[in-house]
Amino acid sequence: MRRHEVGAAPMDRDAENGWEVARLLGGTSLDGVRMAGFRDRVAAGLDMQVLPQPAVIVVIGLGGDPFTVESPTGHQPTRSLVASLSPGPARIRSERVECVEVCLSPRAAYAVLGLSPRELDGCVTGLEDLWGRHERRLREQMTDAKTWQERLALTDEFLTKRAAGAPPMSPEVTAAWDTIVARRGRIRVGDLAASCGWSRKRLWSRFSAQIGLTPKRAAMLVRFHHAARALCAGESASNVAVACGYADQAHLHRDVQALAGCTPGALARRTAPAG
């Protein structure tokens, strides 16, 4: 989503781009959860390709215009949506946007979505398909709320209640994911398994079941995320390849093509992914 990062401020009005952005005062109650409210103040509309990133993205629409998710399977109108870690080729469009966006680490997603991220199967789908009447009730409450802080607090409370009764992710899987993130994807699967005290086969099976990606794919995703941010910040492809641990520039090109469906140069012309 095109937006201006707010930093420590709870509210920012980006006059140039026309986006109003709000964050929850005091932060969220759950680890691995970030959220913000967005409103398109000038009706510029949204036309965004969904890029893979190391978070599951939940968007709860509050305005009158639905989102349209465009994918190889067709066009799907929806009021709210969820995008998996690696969503595949998809675009999101809307005439006018007012929403709350929630970024969930895999561990948080495992707790609050009600299913393993693996079951999202590399897609962008309607949130109502996962939460049913609970999604509708939350969206109605948020729409009736008068301030962004009320809306964000409602979202935070809802997620906290869902997480309270959820089964925990395996500590070994959590540690493996945290290691991948800390190392920016620059770690071998064998070393990762050894750090958990598991065999490669067991790590592969348990990690894939709970995260939704294989350890190798997760490392590739995290490395790509840092590379994408650097490319969008204006760094050259050759420098990014070295800094992000790619074997060479051709390796970077292959990964960007596989995950974003374009060249590094084309990706660099887009708005940087969140994070």
| Mean confidence (pLDDT) of the chain | 88
**Can you give the pLDDT at residue 8?**
31
| Residue 268 banded pLDDT, cuts 50, 70, 90 | confident
Would you say residue 146 has pLDDT above 80? yes
**Can you give the pLDDT at residue 71?**
82
Over residues 178-192, the mean pLDDT reads 95
Over residues 90-114, the mean pLDDT reads 91
Q: Alpha helix (H) ranges present in 121-270?
A: 128-131, 133-144, 148-164, 171-182, 189-196, 200-211, 215-232, 237-243, 249-260, 264-268
Per residue in 11-56, pLDDT tens?
444 545 688 999 999 999 999 999 999 998 887 788 888 889 999 9
Would you say residue 175 has pLDDT above 90? yes
Burial of 132 (0-12, 13-18, 19+ CB in 10 A): exposed
Ramachandran angles phi, psi of 151, nearest 5°: -60, -45
Q: Which residues pair with 140 in a beta bridge?
A: none
| Residue 1 banded pLDDT, cuts 50, 70, 90 | very low
**Can you give the pLDDT at residue 14?**
53
**Percentage of the chain modeled with pLDDT above 70:** 92
Tokens 């709870």 correspond to what residue? 10
**Backbone Cα Rg of the chain:** 19
Over residues 196-207, the mean pLDDT reads 94
**Can you give the pLDDT at residue 35?**
96
**Can you give the pLDDT at residue 80?**
94
Would you say residue 262 has pLDDT above 70? yes
**Can you give the pLDDT at residue 168?**
86
Would you say residue 206 has pLDDT above 90? yes
Cα distance between residue 24 and residue 149, in whole Å:
6
Residue 233 vs residue 9, higher pLDDT: 233
Cα distance between residue 233 and residue 213, in whole Å:
27
Complete domains list, the chain, with CATH: 11-164 (2.60.120.10), 171-268 (1.10.10.60)
**Can you give the pLDDT at residue 116?**
77
Would you say residue 67 has pLDDT above 70? yes
Distance of CA 75 to the CA centre of its chain: 21
**Can you give the pLDDT at residue 167?**
86
Residue 224 vs residue 87, higher pLDDT: 224
Residue 70 is inside which H or E element, if any?
strand 67-71
Q: What are 219's two structure tokens?
A: 């490392």
**Can you give the pLDDT at residue 269?**
82
Would you say residue 6 has pLDDT above 70? no
**Can you give the pLDDT at residue 65?**
84
